[in-house]
């Protein structure tokens, strides 16, 4: 092999061992092949989740890893002491929020984007077709826009973490009920949000519904959501926030 050819070969080998962010999920008209990174790495312990035990978005990411049967290290970020606004954390998550997921040399932010990344990397809980992937994505944008915003804010108020008056509370109550009605209506059509199998859209939505009672929402008033919640909790690998998120760091 000539000098130049050797250089190219060496470059290719090094590139292969580095964990890369998932390219937007490779789409095939009927199903996707397993992402290359899984085969290359094979390292089951490579993820480290930085989060806070009471954080819904942190739970969502931990839940995805648990449902994928993928062990992870956990770093407790002490939000009460402002650890998420310190320079050493801001280099990992520019928004100064939890969660943050480390995969090898890269740090990922925004729980819904992390779910998409993991679905691509681990080849699980994704839509099976291009169309289904698009539906999954629509749900995940909707969850954060319409469902998570009022429910998380009401929960924060109930826990004394956010202050706002009764008028604003009524507004969030109304928004939350509107979003729950949409969810309930859609779940009348199929067992899971996008069809016959659970996807990251269901995981994303569950991560909010889990905390609805704390926000003062009575899920039993939404029978399809209540049934879907039960189905979700029966999935292999399901675990509660208390089981997944310790109050201190836990390294593998
Ligand atoms: N959209 C973000 C929301 C993250 C978020 O709101 N995290 C909260 C804890 S649950 C946080 O870090 N709050 C502190 C802050 O925003 O300063 C995600 O899904 O990751």
Pocket test for ligand 1, best of 52, 57, 144 (most atoms within 8 A of CB): 57
| Rounded distance between C-alpha atoms, residue 237 and residue 239, angstroms | 6
At residue 28, the pLDDT reads 41
111 lines ligand 1 (CB under 6 A): yes
At residue 42, the pLDDT reads 57
Identify the three-state secondary structure at position 100. strand
At residue 190, the pLDDT reads 97
At residue 34, the pLDDT reads 40
Residue whose CA lies nearest to ligand 1 atom number 1: 110
At residue 128, the pLDDT reads 94
Domain 43-124+240-244 and domain 130-233, same fold? Reply is no
| Rounded distance between C-alpha atoms, residue 78 and residue 59, angstroms | 15
Strands across the sheet with 72-76, in order? 72-76, 47-51, 100-103, 106-109
| Rounded distance between C-alpha atoms, residue 205 and residue 189, angstroms | 16
Please check whether residue 144 is in contact with residue 200, taking contact to mean a CB–CB distance below 8 angstroms: no
Pocket test for ligand 1, best of 61, 78, 90, 97 (most atoms within 8 A of CB): 97
At residue 16, the pLDDT reads 34
Please, what's the largest Cα pairwise distance for the chain? Answer: 75
- 173 sits in which H/E element: helix 166-186
Every domain of the chain and the residues it spans = 43-124+240-244, 130-233
Residue whose CA lies nearest to ligand 1 atom number 18: 110
At residue 6, the pLDDT reads 47
Quickly tell me which residue has 């109930």 as its tokens.
158
- Give CATH for domain 43-124+240-244: 3.40.30.10
Pocket test for ligand 1, best of 80, 98, 154 (most atoms within 8 A of CB): 98
The phi and psi torsions of 70 (rounded to 5 degrees) equal -115, 110
| Residue 227: burial class (beta carbons within 10 Å; 0-12, 13-18, 19+) | middle
Could you tell me the fold of the domain covering 130-233? Glutathione S-transferase Yfyf (Class Pi); Chain A, domain 2 (1.20.1050)
Tens digit of pLDDT per residue, the chain (252 long)?
444 444 434 443 333 333 333 445 544 433 333 443 333 345 776 899 999 999 999 999 999 999 999 999 999 999 999 999 999 999 999 999 999 999 999 999 999 999 999 999 999 999 999 999 999 999 999 999 999 999 999 999 999 999 999 999 999 999 999 999 999 999 999 999 999 999 999 999 999 999 999 999 999 999 999 999 999 999 999 999 999 999 999 999
């Amino acid at each position: 092999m000539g000098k130049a050819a050797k250089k190219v070969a060496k470059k290719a080998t090094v590139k292969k061992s580095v964990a890369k962010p998932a390219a937007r999920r490779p789409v095939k008209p009927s199903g996707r092949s397993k992402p290359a990174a899984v085969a290359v790495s094979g390292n089951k312990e490579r993820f480290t989740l930085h989060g806070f035990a009471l954080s819904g978005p942190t739970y969502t990411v931990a839940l995805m890893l648990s449902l994928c049967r993928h062990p992870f290290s956990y770093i407790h970020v002490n939000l009460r002491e402002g650890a998420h606004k310190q320079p050493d954390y801001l280099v990992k998550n520019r928004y100064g929020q939890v969660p943050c997921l480390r995969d090898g040399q890269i740090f990922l932010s925004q729980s819904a984007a992390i779910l998409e990344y993991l679905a691509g990397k681990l080849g699980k809980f994704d839509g099976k077709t291009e169309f289904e992937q698009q539906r999954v994505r629509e749900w995940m944008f909707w969850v954060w826009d319409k469902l998570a915003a009022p429910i998380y804010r009401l929960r924060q108020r109930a826990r004394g973490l956010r202050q706002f008056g009764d008028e604003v509370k009524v507004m969030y109550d109304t928004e939350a009920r509107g979003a729950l009605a949409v969810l309930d209506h859609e779940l009348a059509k199929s067992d899971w949000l996008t069809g016959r199998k659970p996807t990251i859209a269901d995981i994303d939505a569950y991560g909010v519904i889990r905390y609805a009672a704390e926000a003062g929402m009575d899920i039993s008033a939404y029978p399809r959501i209540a049934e879907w919640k039960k189905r979700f909790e029966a999935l292999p690998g399901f675990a509660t926030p208390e089981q997944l998120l310790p109050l201190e760091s836990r390294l593998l």
